[in-house]
Chains A and B, each alone.
Chain A
Amino acid sequence: MRGSVTGHLILKDWRMNRPLLVLSIAAGAIGLAVVQWGTEPAAVVGSVWFFIALIMVGTMLPLGGIVNERKKQNLAFVMSLPISSMQYTTSKLVSSTGMFLVPWVTLVISAVLLIQVRHTFPHGGIPMLLILAMMPFVGFSLITAAALIGESEGWGIAANVACSSSYGLVWYFLSRIPTLMVNAKGPVAVWNSTVVDVLCVELGLVALLLGLTYFIQSRKRDFI
């Protein structure tokens, strides 16, 4: 045996998705560059572009790597290898989450640094940036869970539609929370209890969705 097969599957996914990761980082970077022009329209267009890049990679990774693998009948090839269904689930959760975090961490850190260094946005916006950036992470987790558990393109698309239509709604409710918005335009980033609570809920949702996926998959008896 040459290393763990789970490891080989994770590496395979990374190799196959390299273009998508590069593309999403480039798209997000373009959004950040547009924001730097300093005008309000540029800030709106650049921010939207930035978040679209995060949403896009969070959608395409599970749809491409999990749903398509099943739809295009590659799964039988993978399952002919010496792995169990749980090792397959582990490889998919690790590779998808790891791959998503590459552009996510890169772009979010870049955005925070740009706010800190270039002062294009007030520093008070950093907590809100993190809260908003966590939303595609939650969306990614939901689509990944639906793709693995639902075992069909329909569930993956349904989760994608649910996420896409929820972003605006969640933003609407968040913007109605006074303690969240009061410091957003201030000169200093304020990490009050509301900010921490919202971030904890988002992180909790990510952990719950991915953990639940692992648990449900471990109870399945039929894999194909």
Chain B
Amino acid sequence: MTDYAVEMSGVTKSYRYFSLDNVHLKVAEGQIMGLIGANGAGKSTTIRILMGLVHQDSGDVRVLGHRMPAEQVEAKWDIGFASEDMRLYDSMSVGWHMSFIQSIYESWDDKYAQVLLKRFGLRAEQKIKGLSHGQRVKATLLLVLARKPKLLVLDEPTTGLDPVARHEILRELTNVMADEGRSILFSSHNTQDVEQISDQITFIDRGSIIDSMDKEMYLDRWRRLRLEVPAGVELPALPGIIDVKQDGRLAVATANAFEPDLANAYENTGARVQRIETMTLEEIFVANVEHSREEVEACEVR
């Protein structure tokens, strides 16, 4: 039986202009889950519910076996949380923050903290207000990582970072996963970052989870077929094809469950398959979101 670090089922939360709708999300122990969504898709709300900071209207949330939000205190001992909108105290130093966290957590690993301090190019005596954005993010991550949490919840940690800082942080997160018992939930709208470190990916849009599966499965199953369509030939609706855009004799079909037979099916109708292209995670995300929105709009029209 799989043990889950995070289990959300049927979670809803309504605000005046936004609602989270029937969210189901599972992160297995030892897994890195990337949560991808556009701005305002519901990533932060999902994470806040998961952390117990916001109470869901309905649905069940369990984190490391604790019911949330009722058992958030017990759960948070083993969760390392960092978010894009989290700031340390400007007037205090990095060292002061390290001592503060160390005074709370017995699990604090001072040797590792010193290693991270050096690796991230920080100095303990530096005040937070004197740090760049990238250094602040690194300082926050240092505080989270050095306490060795079982679950890392990172809400857009790489937003606004330069490529070097992003690379350093992603590398450190990959190192963290050397400890197989640890899990990471990593939200971002940057698909490149998520693709780099995640092994499971969930897409969220307009408050709903629209897809969730293994990263390799996404890359295997999604394809773009470039077709030449002679006059008089009509492209059929094929299972696994979620979108067809045609401009004159040229058409592009997007498959979310690609099988080589799909190409044969098109050829049999008289169309010619010019190319079959793999898709990047970003292209898969955009296609997925567009398809989901079209389906919702079609339902509303009906």
Say whether A80 contacts B82, CB under 8 Å: yes
* Residue on A nearest B96 in the bound complex, by CB: A15
Say whether A73 contacts B87, CB under 8 Å: yes
Instruction: Give bound CA distance, A16 to B100, whole Å.
Output: 12
Instruction: Give bound CA distance, A84 to B74, whole Å.
Output: 10
Say whether A80 contacts B76, CB under 8 Å: yes
Say whether B103 contacts A8, CB under 8 Å: yes
Interface presence of A152 (CB below 8 A): no
Interface presence of B27 (CB below 8 A): no
Number of A residues, CB within 8 Å of B = 24
Say whether A80 contacts B51, CB under 8 Å: yes
Say whether A223 contacts B83, CB under 8 Å: no
For residue A80, which residues in chain B have a CB less than 8 angstroms away from its CB? 51, 76, 79-82, 86, 144
Which residues in window 61-75 of B have CB below 8 A to A? 72-74
Which of the residues B72, B83, B90 comes within 8 Å of A76, measured between beta carbons?
A: B83
For residue B51, which residues in chain A have a CB less than 8 angstroms away from its CB? 79-80
Which of the residues A2, A76, A221, A222 comes within 8 Å of B85, measured between beta carbons?
A: A76
Interface presence of A81 (CB below 8 A): yes
Contact with B along A61-90 (1 / 0, CB 8 A): 000000000001110110111111101000
Say whether B73 contacts A221, CB under 8 Å: no
Chain B interface category by residue count = 20 to 34
Interface presence of B91 (CB below 8 A): yes
> How many A-B Cβ pairs are below 8 Å?
67
Interface presence of A12 (CB below 8 A): yes
Which of the residues B72, B73, B87, B91 comes within 8 Å of A77, measured between beta carbons?
A: B87
Contact with A along B42-64 (1 / 0, CB 8 A): 00000010011111000000000
Say whether B55 contacts A82, CB under 8 Å: no
Say whether A81 contacts B55, CB under 8 Å: no
Known A1-B106, A16-B89, A73-B87; contact A79-B100, beta-carbon cutoff 8 A: no
* Residue on A nearest B44 in the bound complex, by CB: A224
For residue B52, which residues in chain A have a CB less than 8 angstroms away from its CB? 84
Say whether A87 contacts B73, CB under 8 Å: yes
Say whether A81 contacts B91, CB under 8 Å: no
* Residue on A nearest B106 in the bound complex, by CB: A2
Interface presence of B77 (CB below 8 A): yes
Which of the residues A74, A82, A87, A223 comes within 8 Å of B77, measured between beta carbons?
A: A82
For residue A73, which residues in chain B have a CB less than 8 angstroms away from its CB? 85-87
For residue B79, which residues in chain A have a CB less than 8 angstroms away from its CB? 80
Interface presence of B299 (CB below 8 A): no
* Residue on A nearest B80 in the bound complex, by CB: A80
Interface presence of A33 (CB below 8 A): no
Instruction: Give bound CA distance, A87 to B100, whole Å.
Output: 17
Instruction: Give bound CA distance, A54 to B144, whole Å.
Output: 39
Say whether A2 contacts B104, CB under 8 Å: yes
Say whether A5 contacts B55, CB under 8 Å: no
Instruction: Give bound CA distance, A196 to B59, whole Å.
Output: 54
Say whether A222 contacts B55, CB under 8 Å: yes
Expressed in whole angstroms, the minimum distance between the Cβ of B61 and any Cβ of chain A is 14
